[in-house]
Amino acid sequence: MTVPDVVTVGEAMALLIARTPGPLEAVGEFERATAGAELNVAVGLSRLGFHVGYIGSLGQDSPGRYLRAFMADERLDLRHLWMDARYPTGLMLKQMAADGADPEVEYFRRGSAASRLSARDMPAPDSDFGRARLLHLTGICPALSRGCRELAFALARQARAGGRTVSFDPNLRPRLWQSRTAMIETVNALACAADIVLPGLAEGRLLTACDDPAGIARYYLERGVRQVVVKLGPEGAYVAGADVEAGVVPGVPVPRVVDTVGAGDGFAVGVISALLDGLDLRAAAARGCAIGARVVQFRGDCEGLPGRAQLAEAPARPGRTRINMETQA
């Protein structure tokens, strides 16, 4: 078997997208899709030609079988994806929002199969997954359960000890945490175990108590992180770190925003893929802005994630709406 370029861990969910506008309780028809921040990133990187390993657990139910088939079709390495007959697959409902607004979403993930992951599910350090070039983590996995939290930190320690690169996107989900304090302390601890941190501006302000992107970046750089990319919404991204001139990379205008969910995951795909391609951090942030801009022009979380040929196309015409790169799935 092949050593993956990237390994990630998380909860893949079945997604039901409303076919008509309005509050979710009034919607009569939904279309099925997929969701999960780590899944979105894994799919995006796979479409760009990287070998991506996914660590997770799905219920042995129809949503779980649907997700596994989707992931296999996207050529993800599923050697560490478990099918659990005891617990269900997570589910997400998403509103059809108008005029580019952030849609209402509802999660049904308590007691899911993915929440039962633990450090026992960690690949050995000398295994193919343990030797991946890059480990990508988010702040969602440690919010799911104590076992998931232990797994995320163990994976980060193992990767750093083996000289691998760790990227981290906070992906704050306050409803999954027992308290705001626990969320901030845990997410920051995991961020400071990473090499590359990708917070949104609002997330960074909450996590660091710093108001400006330079202060947010400095907070993490002073704690051992090598590179920081702060998503600035319509303004693009602020980059800082080793071997890069700190400053803003401009955002990308789009003709029309259809669905903002998944923009931040597309941004992460752009940054990670560019760094793996050997580009510098400013070029990586520019690719992140371009992919995020493409993602918001499609309804589903993964539908707008490009292949290499699509990546080379101009992402948008100038002078139109700019999108919010903080929005996540």
Per DSSP bridges, beta strands 52-59 and 6-9 are: parallel
- Residue 112 makes CB contacts below 8 A (sequence gap 6+) with 11, 59, 87, 88, 89, 90, 144
Tokens of 281: 């951090």
Residue 107: burial class (beta carbons within 10 Å; 0-12, 13-18, 19+): middle
Does residue 84 carry a catalytic annotation?
no
Tokens of 232: 């600035």
If residue 168 lies in a helix (H) or strand (E), which one and from where to where? strand 165-169
What is the rounded distance in angstroms from the CA atom of residue 286 to the CA atom of residue 283? 5
Residues in the chain: 329
State the amino acid at position 277 in one-letter form.
Answer: D
- The active-site residue, picked from 84, 121, 169, 265, is 265
If residue 59 lies in a helix (H) or strand (E), which one and from where to where? strand 52-59
Residue 306 CA, distance from chain mean position: 15
DSSP letter at 42? H
The residues assigned a catalytic role are 265
